[in-house]
Amino acid sequence: MSAKPHLKIVKRSMADLAADRIRAAILSGALPPSARLVEAALAEEIGVSRGTIRAALSELERDRLVTCARYSAWSVATLDAQRLWEIYTMRATIESGAARLVAQHVSDDDIRAIRAAEKKLDAAERGAKAAERLACDLDFHTTIVQRSGNRLLIDAYASIMDQVRWVYAVSERRSPARIDLVAWHAPLADAICRGDADEAAKLAFDLCLRSLDDDLREAAPTQDGGAA
């Protein structure tokens, strides 16, 4: 018997759809860290009940994108120094391991995929909007992780992508086009493509920690109570 394609439509609840709307606003930076989330206002804006909004916010709380204090006092999570450190060091660990794995057994297909992602960075650097810059940047790193061939590594990376997108969006709003996308990523692409596993792993790790240092430095005035 031949295998049939999976055609079943997965039904999603209104709470899931509402959570998607709120998540998108957080990840785009439209709802900044620590912003208050009022159930009644969200329910009216999205067109659902307060109970649905409460369920949606509970889902986002499990994803660590929102927090709840004193029953229904919801807010977007705080992107403080500890949270930034957690996200970036997790990224560094995964991306460094992936870069090493790809470089150790780099194939012509790997090189083509990485160079294609690098070419998108070049196009994005020349006048692209913020959303496109962020998408191309993430695509470059995701390509490396996916080419690692390690399913557990790939799944672990997927599990933190919302956190990573959130940090990217907040960083971009705070300091637009902070880095030159091509100059920043080219050494890593070159190390992987020439099969230098040690250098690729080091560069991937160091890039994440450099970004962490930049974000901590730029976030410091806000954390001290000054203007964002």
CATH number assigned to the domain comprising residue 49: 1.10.10.10
pLDDT score at 11: 64
- Please state, in angstroms and rounded to a whole number, the distance separating the CA atoms of residues 173 and 62: 25
- Please state, in angstroms and rounded to a whole number, the distance separating the CA atoms of residues 134 and 87: 17
> Residue 141 belongs to what domain range?
81-223
Q: Kindly report, residue by residue over 28-75, the tens digit of the pLDDT.
A: 888 999 999 999 999 999 999 999 999 999 999 998 999 998 777 899
Residue 37 shares a structural domain with residue 93: no
Residue 33 shares a structural domain with residue 68: yes
- Residue 6 located in a structural domain: no
CATH number assigned to the domain comprising residue 131: 1.20.120.530
Q: Kindly report, residue by residue over 171-184, the tens digit of the pLDDT.
A: 888 888 788 999 99
Q: How many other CB atoms are there within 10 angstroms of residue 163's CB atom?
A: 22
